[in-house]
Amino acid sequence: MTSHFLQFDRAGSPAEVLQLRERPLTQPQGHEVRVRMRYAPVNPADLNFIEGTYGRAAHPPCIPGHEGCGEVEEVGGAVTSLVKGDVVIPLLGTGCWTQHLTAPEHHFAKLPPQIDAVQASMLRINPVTAWALLKHYATLEKGAWVAQNAANSGVGRALIQLAHHFGLRTLNFVRRADLFDELKALDADAVILDNDDGVAEAKKITGHEPVRLAANAVGGDSAIHLMDVLSSEGIMVTYGAMSRRSLKVPNKFLIFKNLQLRGLWITKWLEQATPAELQKVLDPLTALIEKGGLVTAIDQIVPLADFKEAILRAQQDSRHGKVILDLA
């Protein structure tokens, strides 16, 4: 039997350097399990990894793909935590854009068998990032305001839903007014344009209520808008740089507001988290997915053979959700 996978032999434009390859299947040994992968999203981090602009350098030849979902197909003789048929997500840093993935059993997290496999394939990065943003930097009472930019991103949509679940309110900055209704349908409390007028509107909405936490995925002027909205002693956590512009910090925000600037790279957190710490996050997120309280928008599901179409679509700003590779 053989299996297909995507690989790049040099860094560059993903649609140009990715190639569909084939390899023979091997029997897992010892503590290894072989997983039949079903779905894998195309994330910005995946594209950056292929381009050579990610926080961690690739060493081609590489199989990209930071997350996905599949079922255990075969297990090695020493495996104790998984059995054939278990639904799992890989915890590896990369390598998910493949029909079959073989790795030691501790590199997989088991999920409920009835979970939606497409939604599960997007669990490891964006929802976990949103959870960390809301839980790891500030203790917020119910009704507290949280601000964010790129609110229509995968993390942004997850943050809106999780904040609502936690009883928090969200100020959501976006670049396009046509996104307002769909984000409000996710229980966003306020959706505003990411410009100076939007900052003024945000301040009117919150009035004298504090905004103690902000999530920054953009940088540049957009991050300044968040800093402007934050209250004294507020915390801005930067987890992305979509504008590819450096973080500029006006002196007044440090001197007069004493803002705290933090950073989050969820890949590093996932690597350092103990199995118990990871399960403490995955279990409630999985439960929310099963109840429909956490839904990641899907733009297209594209067959693996049409990967170039998937890549090009994932690079478009006009899409409404994630592009998913169907690995069947």
> Is the pLDDT score of 257 beyond 90?
yes
Decide: 121 and 87 in contact? Cβ < 8 Å: no
pLDDT at 159: 98
Q: How many angstroms from the chain centroid is the CA of residue 118?
A: 14
User: Rounded to an integer, what distance in angstroms lies between the CA atom of residue 32 and that of residue 104?
Assistant: 4
pLDDT at 308: 98
pLDDT at 245: 84
**How confident is the model over 167-199, as pLDDT tens digits?**
999 999 999 999 999 999 999 999 999 999 999
Cα angle, residue 205 at apex, residues 170 and 181 outer, rounded to 5° = 55
> Is the pLDDT score of 275 beyond 90?
no
Decide: 42 and 311 in contact? Cβ < 8 Å: yes
> Is the pLDDT score of 55 beyond 90?
no
Q: What percent of the chain has pLDDT over 90?
A: 91
**How confident is the model over 30-49, as pLDDT tens digits?**
999 999 999 999 999 999 99
pLDDT at 241: 84
Helix 154-166 with 275-291: angle, nearest 10 deg: 90
**How confident is the model over 70-111, as pLDDT tens digits?**
999 999 999 999 999 999 999 988 999 999 999 999 999 999
Helix 154-166 with 126-135: angle, nearest 10 deg: 50
Catalytic residues: 54
CA neighbours closer than 13 Å in the CB half-sphere of residue 57:
3
Residue 159 in 3-state DSSP?
helix
Q: How many CB atoms lie within 10 A of CB 264?
A: 19
Strand partners, 193: 174
pLDDT at 246: 85
* CA–CA distances in Å: residue 20 to residues 2, 46, 51, 218, 307: 13, 16, 17, 32, 8
List domains and CATH numbers for the chain: 2-122+296-326 (3.90.180.10), 126-266 (3.40.50.720)
> Is the pLDDT score of 232 beyond 90?
yes
Decide: 148 and 156 in contact? Cβ < 8 Å: yes
Split at pLDDT 50, 70, 90, the class of 243 is confident
Give the pair of three-digit tokens for residue 159: 């943050």
